[in-house]
């Protein structure tokens, strides 16, 4: 038996990076998946890779900060796959800036996606899980929710909210068979990192030096890989973790404890 046989998972932002790695790993463990994505081309590539693994996945265009879009995505998921058993709140955006350099517009944009979007997905899917008699929710927070990181004011605030919402949902729904945990990744080599380097370090040599610097920030000496986040996500979403709820797990190459 695979760890996720007969499970139906919604993965927000499942088209790339950590979301794609989680979607692929879930499929390899027998789960069906719905990728809720703004970037349909990226979601299509994820679905293609899952099909090559022999798995089943659908892509649904969704703007998680819009309640009607979330509601429509949920209906489409249920119509195509059945009622979801898992919700993985992975979608999010980043921002570079301090409390004084962050504009009000940028702050609202980050909070609208990372915080309101997570809330709207929870609000829509939780009743379905309750009707099912239980389910699993996994939120993607960050070590930024618990550790001061320079120039990440709005992002850190939004991920702090993700951690707090995890604890709240775990408390409120534990007696209804719902487990809710969160992952707090450190720096992971995703398309966002590459985009950040290309934007702020256009010179190839400078970009290479900065990549090395960012890698060495982790005591283990490198960035994480999306697949490493997906491994822990799969465990927490499986029945092997049936006694775990209301917990936050650092996946950070030792950053939280060894720096």
What is the distance between the alpha carbons of residues 82 and 187, in angstroms, rounded to a whole number? 35
In the residue annotation, 201 being an active-site residue is answered as no
Tell which phi-psi region holds residue 94, choosing left (phi > 0), alpha (psi between -120 and 50) or beta: beta
Which helix (H) or strand (E) segment holds residue 51: the answer is helix 40-52
Beta bridge partners, 179, equal 136
Count Cβ atoms below 10 Å from residue 180 Cβ, excluding itself. Answer: 28
Catalytic residue among 155, 201, 217, 249: 155
Bridge partners, 185 (sequence order)? 251
Does residue 180 sit in helix, strand or coil?
strand
Which residue, among 229, 222, 230, 231, has the nearest Cα to 253 in the 3D structure? 222
Give, for 123, the enclosing helix (H) or strand (E).
Answer: helix 117-132
Look up residue 188 and give its two tokens.
Answer: 């992971």
Rounded distance, CA 12 to CA 118, Å? 9
Give kind and range of the element (H or E) at residue 181: strand 178-185
| Bridge partners, 9 (sequence order) | 33, 86
Catalytic residue set:
155
């Amino acid at each position: 038996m695979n760890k996720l046989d007969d499970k139906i998972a919604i993965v927000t932002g499942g088209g790339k990076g950590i979301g794609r790695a989680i979607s692929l790993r879930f499929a390899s463990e027998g789960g069906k998946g719905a990728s809720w994505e703004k970037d349909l081309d990226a979601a299509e590539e994820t679905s293609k890779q899952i099909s090559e693994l022999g798995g089943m996945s659908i892509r649904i265009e969704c703007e998680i900060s819009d309640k009607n879009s979330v509601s429509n995505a949920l209906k489409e998921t249920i119509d195509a796959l059945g009622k979801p058993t898992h919700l993985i709140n992975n979608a999010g955006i980043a921002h570079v800036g301090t409390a004084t350099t962050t504009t009000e517009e940028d702050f609202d944009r980050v909070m609208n996606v990372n915080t309101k979007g997570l809330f709207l997905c929870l609000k829509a899917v939780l009743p379905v899980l309750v009707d099912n008699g239980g389910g699993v929710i996994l939120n993607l927070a960050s070590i930024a929710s618990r550790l001061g990181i320079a120039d990440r004011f709005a992002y850190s605030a939004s991920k702090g909210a993700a951690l707090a919402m995890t604890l709240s949902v775990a408390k409120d729904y534990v007696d209804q068979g719902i487990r809710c945990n969160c992952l707090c990744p450190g720096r992971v080599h995703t398309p966002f990192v590459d985009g950040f380097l290309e934007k702020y370090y256009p010179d190839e040599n400078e970009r290479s030096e900065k990549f090395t610097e960012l890698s060495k920030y982790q005591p283990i000496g490198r960035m994480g890989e999306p697949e490493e986040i997906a491994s822990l996500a799969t465990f927490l979403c499986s029945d092997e973790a049936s006694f775990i709820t209301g917990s936050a797990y650092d996946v950070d190459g030792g950053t939280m404890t060894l720096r």
